[in-house]
Amino acid sequence: MPSHTPPASHRYSRQKSRQLATGVRVARRDATTPISNHSAALPATDTTYTVVLPSSGTPASSITGAARTPSRKAVTPRNVLSLPRSSSHATAPIAAGGANASNGPMPRILDRYARGPCGTGRASIESDSMRRAYGLRTDRSEHPLGDGWVVAWAVVVALGARIGVVAALGVSVVVAVAGRRPGAGAVCLMLAVVASMLGAHAWASALPRTLGPYRGWAEVTADPASIGRGTRLTLEVEGERFDAWAYGAAAGTASRRQAGELVWVVGERVAAPDPGGFARVRHVVGRFRVEVLADVSPGSPLAVAGNRVRGALQRSAAVMGDPTASLFTGLVIGDDTRQPPWMVERFRRAGLSHLTAVSGQNVAYVLAAALPLLRRLRPWWRWAATVGLIGWFMSITRFEPSVLRAGTMAALAATAFVLGRQPRPIRLVALAVIGLVLLDPLLARSVGFWLSVGATAGVCTAGPAIAARLPGPAWLRTAVGITVGAQLGVLLPSLMVFGRVSLVSVPANLAAVPVAGFVMLYGLPAGLTASFLPSWAATLVLLPATVGTRWTATVASVAAGVEPSGAAAVVAWAAVGVVVVVCAILRRSCPRT
Residue by residue, pLDDT tens for the chain (593 residues) are: 444 444 444 444 555 556 666 766 766 666 666 544 444 444 444 444 444 444 444 444 444 444 444 545 555 554 444 444 444 444 444 444 444 544 455 555 555 554 544 444 444 444 444 444 434 444 444 566 778 888 888 888 888 888 877 766 677 677 666 666 777 777 888 888 888 889 888 888 888 888 889 999 999 988 888 877 888 888 999 888 998 888 887 788 888 888 888 999 999 999 887 766 678 888 888 899 988 888 888 888 888 888 888 888 988 999 998 889 989 998 898 887 788 888 888 888 888 888 887 777 888 888 888 888 888 888 889 999 999 999 988 888 888 888 899 999 999 999 988 888 888 899 999 999 999 999 999 998 888 888 889 889 988 888 888 888 887 888 888 888 888 888 888 888 887 777 777 788 888 888 888 899 899 889 888 999 998 999 899 999 999 999 999 999 999 999 988 888 766 766 777 777 777 777 777 767 765 55
Integer Cα distance of 286 and 156 in angstroms: 31
DSSP bridge partners of 271: 286
Distances from the Cα of 24 to the Cαs of 17, 75, 85, 99, in angstroms?
Answer: 11, 17, 12, 19
CB 267 within 8 A of CB 213: yes
Alpha-carbon torsion (107, 109, 111, 114), positive or negative: negative
Q: Which residues of 471-507 are buried (b: 16+ CB within 10 A; e: fewer)?
A: eeeeeebbbbbbbbbbbbbbeebbeeeeebbbbbbbb
Instruction: Give the pTM.
Output: 0.71
Query: In sequence order, what are the residues at sequence separation of 6 or more whose Cβ sits closer than 8 angstroms to the Cβ of residue 397?
Result: 333, 334, 358, 362, 403
Query: What pLDDT does 135 receive?
Result: 43
Residue 83 phi, psi (nearest 5)? -115, 120
Residue 222 phi, psi (nearest 5)? -150, 150
Please state whether beta strands 78-85 and 240-247 pair in parallel, antiparallel, or not at all (unpaired). unpaired
Integer Cα distance of 375 and 484 in angstroms: 34
CB 208 within 8 A of CB 286: yes
- The DSSP H or E segment spanning 165 is helix 165-179
